[in-house]
Structure 1
Amino acid sequence: MPRFAANLSMMFNEVPFLDRFASARAAGFEGVEFLFPYEFPADELRKRLNGEGLTQALFNLPPGDWAKGERGMASLPGRQQEFRDSVKKALDYAATLNCRLLHCMAGLVPAEVSLTTATSVYAANLAWAAEQAVPAGVKLVIEPINHRDMPGYFLNTQAQGADIIAAIGSDRIGLQFDVYHVQVTEGDITKRMERYMPVIAHMQIADVPARNEPGTGEIGWSYVFHRMDELNYQGWVGCEYRPAGDTVAGLSWRERFAR
């Protein structure tokens, strides 16, 4: 059975964020992930993890100005120093949280920026970030995000991600394979899983089309989870979905599909 990590940015919204660690543990999770930790002191988050015996599986680098619509800076020309500062900040949090994976968001490419320029900036930023992360025992991951939820996002397909990883080195950067984004953008989930498993460092799940919990949409989850096991995937599977109703009531999918 896959190892599931609760995404505390999206699940257990019935309680304040810092109380979601306890809620996740009470629901049987041993790992957690979230989008961004930066509004809370790292020591306070470490305290919550320790208190519940939880592992921090993943979180994201600072994305720029999220409230104004920014979704990462790695491919944006003119933002290189801000990107480097964000890497350092994320690595400080990762050290305190004992987190070994950091998701680096590519960003929304402005219309006036050419794909060639964005690709060059992206590759240089990722290479620099990996140089900082590896000595700290941290691996960067990059996630292709679907065109419907995030129009204009630089990275859309698993092939794009795999090519970038091949250029920089799979020992330094891994692929974040989100079943939801794969299904929306490309389909053929398990075949893509098979093809890219050598570079997959983290996986996430949500059903399609509404991004709710497994069993609320079109994906055949029993088979997807079975293939994860058959392919010997050893990492965490982040539950990055929006519960259709009460979070705990919706967790019945684990018995239906994963066991």
Structure 2
Amino acid sequence: MKGRTSCIRTSWIGLLVALSIGVCSGAAAAPPTAPPAGYKIEEKYTKTSPDGATTIEQYLNQETDEWKWQFWARRQGTFTLLDPQQAEYPADFLFTNDVKWIVRLQKTGSGESTLYLYRLTPNGYVSASRKPLGDLAWDYLKTRPDWRRIKKAPEYHMSANLVRGLEENYRWLGADWPANRYILISLSGDADVKGRKPMQTGVVRGWSCRYDLQTSKFDAPALLSDHNAKAVVPKSPGAD
């Protein structure tokens, strides 16, 4: 009888373990394999990589009051959602010439934008950082001496954009950097200025930094020093 009780107890333990494994395995939802119902492709925003092997497709849901966008990457039999968070606007995409990286230029509001970064894996493109690349660039600026020169932190029209020249490796700047290694980012933002005529004015106007795709670190090369010094000088009221 004692042996039988032990067997029953063992069976129950085994059953509970099996059930717990089943619950845990079902907890992680499988990634979506296609856009949900209601989403239709907007072909005018489709972007193809330089080698022709990857296509970024943008899908819009017009069946709700708030239109939402999804971005999907199609490559060599894979079809992956780039970001589970839906966007309110379409986006532009740029590839590095080796197509190992994609930069997404995303409008986020009136006069505001940010950047997202994706890297190529055997299972397709995935997010390269937990936070948007644009947010990381702002975080980096706040560690720099230039940030202390900004009398009032930007609150409006905060934007992170790409400096032109990614495809040509920024040769127009006189840079001689390894190919497909760096991304140059430009930051801009406005703040309220109090006075007889309160107004918003640019307090960060195109401050630039460099992101290293190999090390995931930021820096501000010397060739940007003169430009950055002017980018944090308060804009005179009424100036263009």
**TM-score interval, normalised by the smaller of the two chains:** under 0.3
Q: Which has the higher strand share?
A: 2
For CA contacts below 8 A with separation 6 or more, give which structure has more relative contact order. Answer: 1
Alignment TM-score, normalising by the size of structure 1: 0.21
Alignment TM-score, normalising by the size of structure 2: 0.22
The higher radius of gyration belongs to 2
